[in-house]
């Protein structure tokens, strides 16, 4: 008989248990306990399969399920005691179950912690991705609400942070909407990528026992749109693959980039120099010294979190790049960055929703900013093109008009017609009509442009896509 050791899960090979420091160094239950409910679901499905193929009895299955249900209640209630001596969430639950249900000693039949954790994580990814899909949808609806409340507001669009051309505020908001929509699509894709059942792969090479992987897959909801079970196709890849982790972290990192860019716009817009929007007090803070300050802290933190999310992605890429097949203990470190990416992305999108949903658009300041006729200098070049002037020549001529306006300290539309006609004969008496901003916007009719016709289409499109 093998000598009993302090490590019941693998101790038969060893004459002594691991050092206390080693136990502290190697434990993962401090962070993977959040997989507990998924682990229990996997164990119930696995034991149901074992009973189906005759490796345990129906009675044993029933008592195992009853014991797992009781443990689940304790976990949900916060009464379950996690013990790092059992390393991880899986063995903590199994050890607690075995103490209550002797038949639980058979639960690990035809299963390794390798395919067990792979299953738990895929179940977690499906739940986490769905949570984020729903949260991004709410953020998009907040954007749509602000756009609907301000359909006629015009602002300058910027390139190089210099005023470029006028756009409707809603058009700018819909640019953010496109970013968030791509993010939502990435998390929706995660639902499909995660939808393959690892159980049955074992530690590396499956099992000689007569298991039914397809049954387990169905029990856990790893099925396609027609209800057919989906099981992983290579046992080695199943336990070694971390593509899903990286894909998820990448989706979070990309979302972080978008949060940061949106936040930067909002920081600028809420500054005294722009003054396009007022951010909600609930998502701003003041200064400990300067009583007049209202700082856009939520937006600044959104910028900062982006770096953290990118760091998590790089951690996973670096962690996995040199590992041989199959499982290596290095992979224990794959969960903290994934869990952190989920937690931070969740908070970020909720904060973004609250910040956008509570902001107020300052129409007067927006109108003042967009009133500069110079914003329509390109339209003036287009006017010349419509009168037969090649664009490069038209561009040069309008540049001369701008120079003339600056020299005389007047706006473009205040230059006498006779003076612009000296610069080019294509200028007609109607040239100043170009500076009617509403007329200018109405001419931007092409798909994707910011004119009112296309904007109405975008309102309809987003309303349908968001079911709002």
Active site positions, annotated: 160, 287
Closest CA to 372 of 323, 440, 313, 317: 440
Instruction: Write down how long the chain is.
Output: 468
Cα 55 versus chain centre, distance = 43
Contacts of 395 (CB under 8 A, 6+ apart): 381
Closest CA to 351 of 261, 259, 276: 259
Q: What is the DSSP string of 114-126?
A: HHHHHHHHHHHHH
Contacts of 236 (CB under 8 A, 6+ apart): 204, 205, 325, 326
Four-CA torsion 162, 164, 169, 173, nearest 10 degrees:
-70
Task: Answer whether 177's CB lies under 8 Å from 353's CB.
Answer: no
User: How far, in Å, CA of 366 to CA of 361, rounded?
Assistant: 8
Q: Residue 100: helix, strand or coil by DSSP?
A: helix
CA atoms within 13 A on the CB side of 261: 15
Rg (CA), the chain: 31
Rounded (5°) CA angle 450-452-457: 85
- E strand intervals along 360-434: 360-361
Q: Which two tokens stand for residue 9?
A: 């899960």
């Amino acid at each position: 008989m093998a000598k009993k050791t302090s490590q019941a899960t693998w101790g038969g090979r060893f004459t002594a248990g691991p050092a206390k420091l080693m136990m502290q160094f190697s434990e993962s239950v401090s962070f993977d306990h959040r997989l507990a409910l998924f682990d229990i679901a996997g164990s119930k499905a696995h034991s149901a399969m074992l009973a189906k193929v005759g490796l345990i009895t129906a009675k044993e299955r029933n008592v195992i399920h009853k014991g797992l249900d009781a443990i689940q209640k304790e976990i949900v209630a916060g009464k379950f005691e996690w013990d790092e001596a059992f390393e991880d969430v899986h063995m903590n639950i199994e050890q607690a179950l075995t103490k209550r249900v002797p038949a639980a000693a058979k639960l690990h039949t035809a299963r390794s912690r390798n395919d067990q954790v792979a299953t738990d994580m895929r179940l977690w990814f499906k739940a986490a991705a769905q949570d984020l899909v729903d949260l991004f949808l709410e953020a998009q609806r907040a954007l749509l609400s602000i756009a609907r409340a301000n359909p006629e507001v015009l602002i300058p669009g910027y390139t190089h942070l210099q005023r470029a051309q006028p756009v409707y505020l809603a058009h700018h908001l819909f640019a953010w909407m496109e970013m968030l929509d791509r993010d939502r699509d990435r998390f929706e894709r995660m639902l499909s990528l995660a939808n393959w059942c690892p159980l049955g792969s074992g530690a590396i090479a499956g099992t000689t026992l007569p298991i039914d992987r397809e049954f387990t897959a169905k029990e856990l909801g790893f099925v396609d749109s027609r209800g057919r079970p989906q099981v992983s196709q290579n046992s080695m890849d199943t336990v070694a693959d971390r593509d899903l982790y990286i894909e998820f972290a990448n989706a979070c990192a990309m979302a972080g980039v978008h949060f940061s860019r949106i936040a930067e716009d909002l920081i600028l817009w809420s500054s005294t120099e722009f003054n396009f929007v007022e951010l909600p007090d609930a998502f701003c803070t003041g200064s400990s010294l300067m009583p007049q300050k209202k700082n856009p802290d939520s937006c600044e933190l959104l910028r900062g979190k982006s770096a953290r999310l990118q760091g998590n992605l790089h951690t996973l890429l670096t962690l996995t790049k040199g590992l041989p097949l199959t499982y290596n203990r290095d992979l224990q470190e794959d969960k903290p960055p994934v869990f952190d990416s989920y937690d931070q992305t969740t908070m970020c999108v909720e904060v973004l929703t609250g910040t956008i949903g509570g902001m107020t658009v300052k129409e007067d300041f927006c109108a003042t900013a967009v009133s500069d006729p110079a914003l329509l200098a390109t339209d003036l070049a287009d006017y010349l093109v419509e009168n037969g002037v090649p664009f490069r020549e038209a561009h040069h001529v309008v540049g001369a008009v701008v120079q003339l306006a600056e020299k005389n300290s007047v706006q473009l539309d205040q230059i006498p017609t006779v003076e612009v006609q000296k610069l080019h004969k294509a200028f007609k008496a109607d040239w100043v009509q170009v500076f009617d901003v509403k007329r200018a916007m109405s001419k931007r009719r092409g798909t994707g442009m910011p004119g009112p016709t296309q904007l109405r289409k975008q309102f309809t499109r987003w309303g349908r896509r968001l079911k709002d």
